[in-house]
Amino acid sequence: MRFSQMLIPTLRDAPKEAELVSHKLLIRAGVIRPLAAGSYTLLPLGQRVRLKIEKIIREEMNAIGGQEISMPIVQPAELWQESGRWYQYGPELVRFKDRSERELVLATTHEEAVTDIVRREIRSYRHVPLVLYQIQTKFRDKPRPRGGLIRVREFTMKDAYSFHSSEDDLDTFYPKIRHAYERIFKRCGLKPVIVQGDPGLIGGKDSHEFMLLSDVGEDQVALCEQCRYAANRQIAKRFKAPVNPTEPMLPLEEVATPGCESIQSLAEFLKIAPDRTAKAVFYIADETEFIFALIRGDLEISETKLANAMQARTLRSATEAEIRSISAVPGYASPVGLLKRSAVKIIADDSIIQERNLVSGANKEGFHMKNVNYGRDFVADVVADIALVREGDPCPNCRSSLSLKNAIELGHIFKLGTRYSEAMGAKILAQDGSERFLVMGCYGIDIGRLMAAVVEAHHDEKGIIWPEEIAPFHIALLVLNTDRAEQIELADKLHALLCAAGFEVLYDDRSESAGVKFNDADLIGIPYRMVIGSRSIPNQTIELRRRRDGVKRELSYAQGLDALVNTLKAELQAAPSH
């Protein structure tokens, strides 16, 4: 392909709104262009990379028995109402009506659609296990799309769904999909860590995320180097030390604490450590239930753990007016003596019940209560671990120190169990003649985010460095003097021979300076660059440069261009992948 005939609008500078390296480079290299907030067009280079990623995914999914299908993105609301997710999703799920007033949705995922297919077509245990997958558009109306392809509204996902006759059969299959994902990411030049994840609104029990450690990642993972414990920070377990409090419970005491609405200001005023306080945080669950969450003052709440503990589909912070409506005072709230106790559910982090004589609010402006004790002074409706782990906290498995790392989620796999099959009546006839609900798993990869993550992991100050297997082209062929017929003739012959040998070549035939061509080749990040310049004809050599490390060598074509191409083909095929 000739550069002069392709749409590759490279830019010297990135747009001001681009913050992440991947966003800047994908724009500058002419790989993507924004269309609307959270929506991007893949230009020819981007589409070539995407198709190569999809090829890898198809090969690995097919290798474990996957069968590719394609399901509509516009789906009837009845399926989502049947599964219950119609009522669980908030604004992220786009709902609309057609001209006949039928309610429809833009699918965020395809569990309902695939379950509907299988319940209609699969009748017997003889037809499972069954693995169906697709590469399809999704839409989620996220409030703050950012980071280019890292966080978007419209995206392309590989989503796969497996159907089994039993939990044991799903357990047998699950490692196969896990290993397939490891191979996919390795072939794309990435080595993510696998961590325990939260199923979220998709549902299910076991869940694992494939996380690429990156300073720009929106997620955080908790890692233990000693025992290899790894979990998304939102669900990572806290180590619970044995409880044997020896401090006696002291009498409640109201103290004036003017202007102490934060834990920090309270601790400084009373000259105590933050872990001697109880912090109150208020939420509205599913827009119907008032949640009073209580946690030790030095800890932060994991909203994922809180939602799971309360079996809430959605959470939002309560407003000041809503807090006052239950007779609590913002900044001075306490579960002790709460007047409208029946209107609120109290959940206490297990750190609260392990402590004696904490300082809590007094539900009175400018006052707190000293010596608040769980059990004597208040009780909670639910006690659970709802705290975020911190850097250096003991590992819940081996007590070594945990470290927190930012990460980009590349893929997510779930054991759904019978979450959808029971809701939608997807049954099969078992070998013993009984009817059983199908056991399901689901497995996703966001292809655009994967592309951006590759750029985050593989770049330098000059531009992108694509791993060989997903690069838009194998070789960038640069002819530096387009006004010299002998260089053009040599480049044309070499281009034809390289293409005939199976190489994908971007032939830069533009009438641009050598500097522009070199800069564009480095920015685009094609693995190898071949240069035909002023010394090529007299020396009968062509310069070959490897993009990832800058190593150069002169290739002789004294024995003919065919011999050069054959030598090059043998060398590149034998070279280790990125």
83-103 pLDDT, tens digit each:
999 988 888 899 999 999 999
**Contact call for residues 503 and 490 (beta carbons, < 8 A):** no
Identify the bridge partners of residue 291 per DSSP, sorted by sequence position.
283, 345
Calculate mean pLDDT across residues 515-543. 93
pLDDT at 483: 83
Tell me how far apart the alpha carbons of residues 554 and 127 are, in angstroms, rounded to a whole number.
58
- Asked whether the predicted pLDDT for residue 203 surpasses 70, the reply is no
- Asked whether the predicted pLDDT for residue 544 surpasses 60, the reply is yes
Tell me how far apart the alpha carbons of residues 397 and 237 are, in angstroms, rounded to a whole number.
9
Give percent of the chain with pLDDT exceeding 90: 78
477-488 pLDDT, tens digit each:
999 988 889 999
288-299 pLDDT, tens digit each:
899 999 999 999
Calculate mean pLDDT across residues 3-25. 93
233-256 pLDDT, tens digit each:
999 998 877 665 678 999 999 999
315-330 pLDDT, tens digit each:
889 999 999 998 899 9
Alpha helices in 509-550 (DSSP H): 514-524, 536-539
365-419 pLDDT, tens digit each:
999 999 999 999 999 999 999 999 999 999 999 999 999 999 999 999 999 999 9
pTM of the model: 0.90
- C-alpha triplet 190, 193, 197: angle, nearest 5°: 125
Calculate mean pLDDT across residues 338-350. 86
- Asked whether the predicted pLDDT for residue 212 surpasses 90, the reply is yes
- Asked whether the predicted pLDDT for residue 578 surpasses 80, the reply is no
C-alpha pair distances (Å), 73 with each of 93, 116, 350, 445, 557: 12, 14, 43, 17, 53
254-294 pLDDT, tens digit each:
999 999 999 999 999 999 999 999 999 999 998 889 999 99
**Contact call for residues 282 and 317 (beta carbons, < 8 A):** yes
Which domains does the chain carry? 11-236+404-456 (3.30.930.10), 253-384 (3.90.960.10), 473-574 (3.40.50.800)
**Contact call for residues 371 and 278 (beta carbons, < 8 A):** no
- Least confident segment among 26-30, 117-121, 334-338: 334-338
